[in-house]
Amino acid sequence: MQKKIAVYPGSFDPITNGHADLIDRVSKLSIFDELIVLIAINPTKAPRFKLEERIEMVNAAIQPYPNVTIDQYSGLTAHYALEHGACAIVRGLRELMDFEKEFQMALMNRQIAPQVDTLFMMANIKYAHLSSSLIMEVVQMGWENIGDEKLSEMVPSVVVKMLRRKFQHEGE
């Protein structure tokens, strides 16, 4: 019997508690044997964290889940899914704007790889407002005024440490 693999792509720059929550929920679904968190290398985006740092952050977040692995890829997610035998691409939805963009992307992926489905998961209301970009903006505008406890409500603890290290270093 063939393993049922799902792919959860994103830049994870940095990984948020919303991402971690989605990983938690998908990893527990009995419909998939394995979830691959796919760290996208997008040439049109300038990441704030190096690929190695993003891998380290995601790796820390997935430790509790034996059926979750990490990979990286710079091509189309649909091609990656086909190459790795995935039956689904998982995408999180936070707001209506996400749906419009994700719907269009899902249709394109379906055209490229008809045998790969897209699974949309609604964000946990607790994290629906979070995005990596928004967190970085808040931290850049006043990281010294945000306590670790508040940051921990937004990102995993490893990310809090890496954000502190990154912005303390940049401020020197």
Active site residue 27: no
Sheet-wide strand order for 117-122 = 68-73, 34-40, 5-10, 86-93, 117-122
Cβ count within 10 A of residue 127: 19
Of residues 54, 91, 94, 166, which has the active-site annotation?
Answer: 94
The residue annotated as part of the active site, out of 3, 28, 45, 165, is: 45
Name the catalytic one among 27, 54, 132, 166.
132
> Does the annotation count 45 as an active-site position?
yes
110 is catalytic: no
Active-site entry in 19, 54, 91, 166:
19
* Residue whose token pair is 């190459």: 83
164 labelled catalytic = no
What CA–CA distance (Å, rounded) separates 48 from 30? 35
3-state secondary structure 6-27: EEEEECCCCCCHHHHHHHHHHH
Q: How many helices (H) and strands (E) does the chain have?
A: 7, 5
Name the residues annotated as catalytic. 19, 45, 94, 132
